[in-house]
Amino acid sequence: MTPKKEYRSKARINIDILRVIKREGGKCGPTRILYGANLSHDRLIRYLTQLKELQLIAEVKENDKAFYVLTDKGKQFLNELSRIERFADAFGITL
Amino acid sequence: MFALLALSPLLMEFVSAVISFVIGYYALKGYRVSSEKGLLLLHYGFVVLGVSMVLRVITTFYVIALVRELGSLKPAVAAALAFASLIYSVAQLIAYGLFTVNYTRQAKTPVQIAAVAPFFLLRYNTYLELVAVVLLGYVAVQSIINLAMKRNTAAFLVTSGFSFMFLSHLFFLFTIVEEALYLTGQLTQLIGFLCLLVMLTRVSTTK
């Protein structure tokens, strides 16, 4: 029997993307994000655009290759999220 | 000295209400970032709880002022006080009900959900304080289960908080036989909220 897939909210997916970039040292290519956040290419582009608009990540080009870096706002957001996660966890709520 | 002693339960209740609002605010902040519905339930629960406590503090002050002015408790004031007490109790039940729903959402197995169902039926019972004890007892047990799984300080402080709140309602329940237990109940409730405040301070300051 295959385990039931857990629903991920838009916020959860955005958080997963930001965490993949952080895990990779704050800078990461789209393929790593795609695998790390478990997304299809179309959805990945959509979420990356949204995160860029929110100024949580920025796109940089190196040797014609696109990379995504965490902005200061993105780092602050992740720190805040860690606090909220600990708060929620204390009440038995999983984010 | 006597006035201070008489007003201390009100002061304790007011401090508890402020802490309740702070936790409710933080839960809302968390909901805005994560869209997790459990945090929204937590927010509503603590805000309703805070409002109910503020209501009781205001009503009691009002009645004390009226009694000083009129010299005795007139039937109309006594009726208003009884109505305010009813609103206070119902608001608290709503808050504890929201906490119960929140913990039930986390308990995914059908057996655990079925076990909580009778508590909702009890909400319409006239013995509101007793219902509060039952609801809060459930919340405290669920928080203990969470503590057993997570084994961290924050979960321990939440468990302590809900356990003290549960104890305070037990004390309130027994004020019928011993009036002094009212003060003990208020103190226990305050300790419960302080536990939650310490938890909030810890999680929001550590990186």
| Structure confidence at residue B109 (pLDDT) | 45
Residue A3 lies in a domain: no
- Residue in A22, A54, A86, A93 to test binding to B, most B beta-carbons within 10 Å: A93
Residue A15 lies in a domain: yes
Domain that holds residue A85: 10-90
Burial class (CB in 10 A: 0-12, 13-18, 19+), B10: middle
Q: Sheet holding A27-28: strands in order across?
A: A27-28, A65-70, A57-62
CA-CA distance, A51 to B49, in Å (whole number)?
36
- Which residues on neighbouring strands pair with residue A68, listed in sequence order? A28, A59
Rounded to the nearest angstrom, the minimum Cα separation between B193 and chain A is 14
| Structure confidence at residue B35 (pLDDT) | 83
Among residues B152, B131, B45, the alpha carbon closest in space to that of B94 is found at B45
Residue A78 lies in a domain: yes
Whether residue B102 and residue A93 make contact (CB cut-off 8 A), yes or no, is: yes
| Structure confidence at residue A87 (pLDDT) | 92
Q: Are residues B183 and B157 in contact, defined by beta-carbon separation less than 8 angstroms?
A: no
Check residue A56 and report its DSSP letter: S
| Structure confidence at residue A79 (pLDDT) | 87
The number of distinct structural domains making up chain A is 1
- In one-letter notation, the amino acid at residue B105 is R
Residue A4 lies in a domain: no
Least confident of B56-60, B62-66, B118-122: B118-122
Whether residue A79 and residue B158 make contact (CB cut-off 8 A), yes or no, is: no
Cα nearest neighbour of A80 on chain B: B204
CA-CA distance, A89 to A83, in Å (whole number)?
10
Cα nearest neighbour of B207 on chain A: A79
Cα nearest neighbour of A88 on chain B: B39
- Residue in B32, B33, B139 to test binding to A, most A beta-carbons within 10 Å: B33
Rounded to the nearest angstrom, the minimum Cα separation between B60 and chain A is 32
Task: Provide DSSP, chain B.
Answer: -HHHHHHHHHHHHHHHHHHHHHHHHHHHHHHHHH--HHHHHHHHHHHHHHHHHHHHHHHHHHHHHHHHHHSS--HHHHHHHHHHHHHHHHHHHHHHHHHHHHHHHH--SHHHHHHHHHHHHGGGSS-HHHHHHHHHHHHHHHHHHHHHHH-SHHHHHHHHHHHHHHHHHHHHHGGGT-TTHHHHHHHHHHHHHHHHHHHHHHHHH--
Classify A21 as helix, strand or coil: helix
Question: In a structure prediction context, what are the per-residue pLDDT tens digits for chain A, which is 95 residues long?
Answer: 555 556 777 878 888 899 999 999 888 999 999 998 888 999 999 999 999 999 999 999 888 888 999 999 999 988 888 889 889 989 988 87
In chain A, which residues touch B (CB < 8 A)? Answer: 9-12, 15, 77, 79-95
Q: What is the pLDDT of residues B119-132, one digit of tens each?
A: 333 333 446 778 88
Encoding tokens for residue B38? 């459990």
- Chain A residue numbers touching B206 (CB-CB < 8 A): 83, 86
| Structure confidence at residue B1 (pLDDT) | 56
Rounded to the nearest angstrom, the minimum Cα separation between A25 and chain B is 18
| Structure confidence at residue B51 (pLDDT) | 93
CA-CA distance, A19 to A21, in Å (whole number)?
5
* Angle subtended by helix axes B110-121 and B75-106, to nearest 10: 170
* Mean pLDDT for all residues in chain B: 81
- Pick from A12, A85, A87: which is nearest to B200 by CB? A87
Residue A2 lies in a domain: no
Check residue A64 and report its DSSP letter: T
Q: What is the CA radius of gyration of chain A?
A: 14
Residue A75 lies in a domain: yes
Q: What is the pLDDT of residues B129-181, one digit of tens each?
A: 788 888 889 999 999 998 998 889 999 999 999 999 999 888 888 877 777 78
Question: Residue A92 region, left (φ>0) first, then alpha (ψ -120 to 50), else beta?
Answer: left
Cα nearest neighbour of B36 on chain A: A95
Residue A95 lies in a domain: no
Whether residue B36 and residue A79 make contact (CB cut-off 8 A), yes or no, is: no
Question: For chain B, how many residues are written?
Answer: 207
Residue A32 lies in a domain: yes
Question: For chain A, how many residues are written?
Answer: 95
- Chain B residue numbers touching A94 (CB-CB < 8 A): 106
Contacts of A11 (CB under 8 A, 6+ apart): B33, B34, B35, B36
Rounded to the nearest angstrom, the minimum Cα separation between A65 and chain B is 31
**CATH (domain of A81):** 1.10.10.10
Rounded to the nearest angstrom, the minimum Cα separation between A62 and chain B is 32
Q: What is the pLDDT of residues B88-134, one digit of tens each?
A: 888 888 998 888 888 877 765 444 444 443 333 333 344 677 888 88
- Chain A residue numbers touching B142 (CB-CB < 8 A): 92
Q: Are residues B30 and B39 in contact, defined by beta-carbon separation less than 8 angstroms?
A: yes
